[in-house]
């Protein structure tokens, strides 16, 4: 005799086995992760990013930097999006995160995705896709990324200690990126993201006066460029200095700037100053296609840092709040 309750129970058990088999499978991330559950996911993110960048192209830089900060802290799990609460100061409120931009674009894409397919597309995947689409919009390489990241349940200000500070030298950068499994070449390629965007005076002003015991001004700056930086800083700590001559265009101009000793941050100029990385900078300055190729490979690798799968995370309903 089969009664309805037993049948329901059996179906439920099979259903749990099937879904948990998928959720805890060895490699939960796939290129076509949303093909059944939210086929328009990629398109919705791309259209949202394109529309936003058409009205403000400077936000491309914001989206790319957001993805980097997300992945370097606790893995690519959208922890960078969480707002602080009464009981928790989130990553967002670290001074290192000051000036992250583009949160509204992520919220906008999430709202549309929740209408199309509620509870399906993670904020972590949206951040990774949005960065990818921003790079392409700005003229950079096109690449595909696996999807299926889950959103994290932790976002703490303490974790931002793991971000590289702008005064690091090449050896320190190699060390820090090495801890995340990146080679020196991959670190240099990723630094090429500074082909987009700006730094504020507070991030480089220490290079302009009382630099060290023997130099007032960092000897690794071209003297005319030092004047440019000083002029920027005369407008205050928040005054913006573009990293290269084309702040909204993804190209290899950043590497040419380093060769001219016109790098904005210590961490930028050190890549040319150090013999361990100088050759890589020169190659990318000469060969943009090589930079694009290495960059997109390194970005895919970065987008997979410590991702959470299955029950290690959740799909947040609102990207700014843990469920
Ligand atoms: C190598 C170590 C790195 C250091 C020390 C570093 C540091 C910084 C600093 C200090 C700023 C300026 C912040 C401000 O003054 O407002 C900045 C901006 C930026 N960073 Fe990095 N960064 C590094 C690597 C990366 C990587 C790997 C990416 C992405 C793949 C990235 C993407 C960006 C972008 C796009 C901006 C411009 C943001 C905007 O204009 O809104 N950075 N970075
Ligand atoms: C980089 O900085 C570290 C720590 O300040 C220092 O020990 C090292 O000598 C520096 N390396 C170079 C090449 O300047
Ligand atoms: C965009 C953002 O949330 N920025 C925050 C970064 O951290 C400072 C505190 O250091 C906050 O005041 C900002 O709101």
Which of the residues are catalytic? 69
DSSP 183: -
Please check the confidence at residue 23 and state whether its pLDDT lies above 50: no
> Within 13 Å and on the Cβ side, how many CA atoms surround 217?
12
Q: Residues 283-307: what's their mean pLDDT?
A: 97
Confidence at 98, pLDDT banded by 50, 70, 90: low
d(CA 233, CA 221): 15
Answer whether 171 contacts ligand 2 (Cβ < 6 A): yes
Count other C-beta atoms under 10 Å from residue 152's C-beta: 28
Q: What are phi and psi of 247, to 5 degrees?
A: -65, -25
Q: Which fold has domain 30-163+303-312?
A: Peroxidase; domain 1 (1.10.520)
Q: Kindly give the distance from the C-alpha atom of residue 131 to the centroid of ligand 1, in angstroms, as a whole number.
A: 13
Q: How far is CA 86 from CA 15, 89, 104, in A?
A: 39, 8, 22
Residue 260 in contact with residue 225, Cβ under 8 Å? Answer: yes
Residues of CATH 1.10.420.10 domain(s) within the chain?
170-302
Question: What is the average pLDDT value for the chain, to the nearest integer?
Answer: 91
pLDDT computed for residue 90 by the predictor? 81
d(CA 240, CA 224): 18
Q: Which ligand is nearest to the CA of 83?
A: 3
pLDDT computed for residue 25 by the predictor? 36
Q: Residues 180-205: what's their mean pLDDT?
A: 97
Residues of CATH 1.10.520.10 domain(s) within the chain?
30-163+303-312
Answer whether 97 contacts ligand 3 (Cβ < 6 A): yes
Please check the confidence at residue 158 and state whether its pLDDT lies above 80: no
Q: Residues 187-201: what's their mean pLDDT?
A: 98
∠ CA 97-100-106, nearest 5°, is 125
> Which protein residues are within 6 Å of ligand 1, measured from CB?
61-62, 64-65, 68, 99, 101, 164, 166, 168, 173, 190-191, 193-194, 196-200, 203, 265, 267
Q: Residues 172-185: what's their mean pLDDT?
A: 97
Angle between helices 184-191 and 288-302 (to 10 degrees): 100
Instruction: Show the tokens assigned to 7.
Output: 């049948």
| DSSP H or E run through 241 | strand 240-242
Instruction: Show the tokens assigned to 201.
Output: 């005076």
Confidence at 159, pLDDT banded by 50, 70, 90: confident
Residue among 165, 166, 169, 274 to mutate when testing ligand 2 (max atoms within 8 A of CB): 169
Q: Give this prediction's pTM.
A: 0.90
- For residue 192, which of 75, 99, 72, 296 has the smallest C-alpha distance? 296
Please check the confidence at residue 253 and state whether its pLDDT lies above 60: yes
Q: Kindly give the distance from the C-alpha atom of residue 304 to the centroid of ligand 1, in angstroms, as a whole number.
A: 19
Q: Which atom of ligand 1 is nearest to the CA of 62?
A: 41
pLDDT over 90 percentage in the chain? 81
Q: Kindly give the distance from the C-alpha atom of residue 169 to the centroid of ligand 2, in angstroms, as a whole number.
A: 6
Please check the confidence at residue 184 and state whether its pLDDT lies above 50: yes
pLDDT per residue as tens digits for the range 66-85: 999 999 988 999 999 998 88
Q: The dihedral of CA 91, 168, 282, 215: what is its sign? A: positive
The domain made up of 170-302 is a member of CATH 3.40.50.720: no
Please check the confidence at residue 6 and state whether its pLDDT lies above 80: no
Please check the confidence at residue 239 and state whether its pLDDT lies above 80: yes
Q: Kindly give the distance from the C-alpha atom of residue 99 to the centroid of ligand 3, in angstroms, as a whole number.
A: 7
Residue 237 in contact with residue 205, Cβ under 8 Å? Answer: yes
pLDDT computed for residue 74 by the predictor? 86
């Amino acid at each position: 005799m089969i009664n309805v309750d037993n049948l329901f129970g059996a179906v439920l058990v099979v259903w749990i086995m099937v879904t948990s088999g998928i959720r805890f499978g060895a490699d939960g991330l796939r290129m076509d992760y949303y093909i059944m559950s939210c086929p328009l996911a990629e398109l919705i993110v791309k259209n949202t990013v394109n529309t936003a960048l058409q009205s403000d192209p400077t936000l491309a830089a914001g989206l790319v930097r957001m993805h980097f900060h997300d992945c370097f802290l606790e893995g690519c799990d959208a922890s960078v999006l969480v707002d602080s609460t009464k009981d928790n100061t989130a990553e967002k409120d670290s001074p290192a995160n000051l000036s992250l931009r583009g949160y509204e674009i992520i919220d906008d894409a999430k709202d549309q995705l929740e209408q199309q397919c509620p509870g399906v597309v993670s904020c972590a995947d949206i951040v990774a896709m949005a960065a990818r689409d921003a790079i392409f919009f700005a003229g950079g390489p096109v690449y595909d990324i696996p999807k299926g990241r889950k959103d994290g349940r932790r976002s703490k200000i303490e974790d931002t200690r793991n971000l590289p500070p702008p005064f690091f030298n090449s050896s320190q950068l190699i060390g820090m990126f090495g801890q995340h499994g990146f080679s020196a070449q991959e670190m240099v390629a990723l630094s090429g993201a500074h082909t987009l965007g700006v730094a504020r005076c507070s991030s480089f002003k220490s290079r302009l006066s009382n630099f060290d015991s023997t130099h007032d001004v960092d000897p690794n700056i071209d003297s005319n460029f030092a004047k440019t930086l000083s002029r920027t800083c005369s407008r205050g700590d928040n005054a913006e200095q573009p990293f290269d001559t084309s702040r909204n265009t993804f190209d290899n101009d950043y590497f040419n700037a380093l060769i001219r000793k016109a790098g904005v941050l210590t961490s930028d100029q050190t890549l040319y100053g150090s013999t361990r990385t100088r050759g890589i900078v020169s190659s990318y300055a000469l060969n943009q296609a090589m930079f694009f190729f290495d960059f997109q490979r390194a970005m895919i690798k970065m987008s997979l840092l410590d991702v959470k799968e299955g029950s290690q995370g959740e799909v947040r309903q609102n990207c700014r709040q843990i469920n």
